[in-house]
Amino acid sequence: MLRALDQWTREIPVVSARGKITDRNGEVLAGNQTAYSVYARANAVEDPDAAAHVLSALLEKSFEDTKKLLTDKSRSEITLLKQGEKSVVQQIEGTNLKGVYYARDNKRIYPYGTLASQVLGFTAMGSEGTTGIEKYYNEYLAGKNGEILYETDLVGVELEGASAAYTPATDGMNVRLTLDYRIQAVAEEVMGRVLETSQAKGARCVVIDPNDFSVLAMVNLPSYDLNDPPRTEIEKLNALSRNRLISDIYEPGSTFKIVTAAANIEETLRGNKDALPLNHIYPSSRTRSVDGTTIKCWSDHANGKHSNQTLKEALNNSCNPCFVDIALALGKEKFYEYLKAFRFGNSTGIDFSGESIGMLLPESTVRDCDLARIGFGQTIAVSPLQLACAAASAVNGGYYYTPHLLKEIYADDGYVFARTEKSLVGRTVSEKASGILAEMLEGVVRDGSGKKAFIEGYRVAGKTGTAQKYENGVIAPGKYVSSFLGFFPANSPKYLALVIVDEPQGTYYGSALAAPCAKEIFEGIIKIMKIPMSS
């Protein structure tokens, strides 16, 4: 019965409107533009040659290809044009061709083009989400198409005076993100400049709110225009559309010292006799010998540099041997408790596909030389998001939340279907330890290697990082990752940013290259949010 009905009816699709994607303020980042699609039923086309001449000219297709479509009776319906302009459809309508009809469609548009392209993702010709948020929340954004059902004769020609059955479309719901397009735009502008001036392979930045781990900005450069993705160049498209802040991993280097310092401070406060006291004086030697291997500081320690430091000074100077001492003093079992509490080796749980869990050596296989290197950010690989979340927890009072991009899902009439609430995963350190660490990291920006992130009148804190890259298990000469992880205000963090410049040419130290980027981004946030100076 159903098959017979199909043979005697003609369906015209009623396309649903895909839900909008907005930033936290309601600014539309992905929306729709009215378009039209043209269809034909070969059985109902009266004169294929004449129709092909007219349509091939209007649709800018070859006569042969158009006629082949119009005479293809193996299918009940042929799509001649997808998401075309209204002017083209109006011309086709004026020809009054039998067996040819059109329907309203929607074309996906991205008003800001390249903005947050790897976060938003794109759709397959305006319908199903293919990447990013478009894919992750597709079931809510997509909606459900309706149809108009006309009665026809056996060859598919509409019967004169026949009635039509109408099933309305159900539009998709809207997705409001935690992103702030203004902060995103500032971060993209800053990172775009450093990408160009340093001739780097890539430039990335993530900005989060340490109070709930909502993502305020995610920058992955180089980027691409969401309105014109290189769909025919699959390898290029995959590379440009990849959200490397979530999916890729790297050895973080000295920014990881934030985690090592946090663990030691907490254990000191707990009275652990193995932990090194806050006033402990670290030996001035440039090297440490562990398991027969020699670990060096980046500095030559000449002329009294890095001599007899405290933990605060070791952070200022980013002195590797001091953090080797901390890791070894805490021991494998205790240090791994903190690594796991900070979620290394696990996903953060962010609402985005393809998250990496990083690379953490199994505890049972770790030697002292491995543990020593983990202490200053080697022999461990993390995603940038993992590191940002760990640092946020270390300085926000010790609270680790689930990071998220979704603020709410809502309908056009204002009905809120779902809203993301702050979700506590666990505690990492105490509020007292967190406060001590934040104060030390403020000193890094005020007096140490992070000076180029200093902003007069604002309490900025952070840590620089410069990591060598490895290829095929050996150090790749001349290839570095420059980074800075900072936050403000230091005494009550509201904004935290991780800046990464991948394989810069020329200057490559995080203190010289990444720290100034963080300063510019923070200055942009201060201007946008009209944040007054600290009293």
* 254 is annotated as an active-site residue: yes
Residues in the chain: 535
CA distance 135 to 194: 30
Which tokens sit at 521?
Answer: 């981004």
Q: What is the CATH number of domain 2-175?
A: 3.90.1310.10
With 0-12 / 13-18 / 19 or more C-beta atoms within 10 angstroms meaning exposed / middle / buried, residue 48 is middle
In terms of Cα–Cα distance, which of 198, 210, 334 is closest to 262?
334
- For residue 96, how far is the Cα from the chain centroid? 49
Among the listed residues 37, 254, 434, 449, the single catalytic one is 254
Q: Which residue has the tokens 């394989």?
A: 503
* pTM reported for the whole predicted model: 0.89
In terms of Cα–Cα distance, which of 335, 322, 319 is closest to 371?
335
E-strand stretches of 351-419: 399-401, 406-410, 416-419
Give residue 395's pLDDT. Answer: 98
- What is the pairing mode between strands 174-177 and 21-22? parallel
* Per-residue tens of pLDDT for the chain, all 535 residues: 233 333 334 455 667 789 999 999 999 999 998 777 788 777 777 777 888 788 888 888 888 888 788 887 777 778 888 777 777 777 877 777 777 777 777 789 999 999 999 999 999 865 789 999 999 999 999 988 776 665 554 444 554 555 566 677 788 999 999 999 999 999 999 999 999 999 999 999 999 999 999 999 999 999 999 999 998 999 999 999 999 999 999 999 999 999 999 999 999 999 999 999 999 999 878 889 999 999 988 877 776 667 789 999 999 999 999 999 999 999 999 999 999 999 999 999 999 999 999 999 999 999 999 999 999 999 999 999 999 999 999 999 999 999 999 999 999 999 999 999 999 999 999 999 999 999 999 999 999 999 999 999 999 999 999 998 888 777 888 899 999 999 999 999 999 999 999 999 999 999 999 999 999 999 999 999 999 998 6
Give residue 473's pLDDT. Answer: 76
Give residue 152's pLDDT. Answer: 53
Cα torsion 502, 507, 508, 509: sign:
negative
Domain ranges in the chain are 2-175, 181-529
Which tokens sit at 67?
Answer: 């006629």
Give the angle subtended at the CA of 229 by the CAs of 225 and 232, to the nearest 5°.
Answer: 155
In terms of Cα–Cα distance, which of 432, 444, 349 is closest to 398?
432
- For residue 233, how far is the Cα from the chain centroid? 22
Q: What is the CATH number of domain 181-529?
A: 3.40.710.10
Q: Are 273 and 331 in contact (CB under 8 A)?
A: no
Q: Is the peptide bond before 222 cis (omega within 30 degrees of 0)?
A: yes
What residues contact 152, with CB distance under 8 A and at least 6 apart?
A: 8, 9, 10, 44, 158, 159, 162
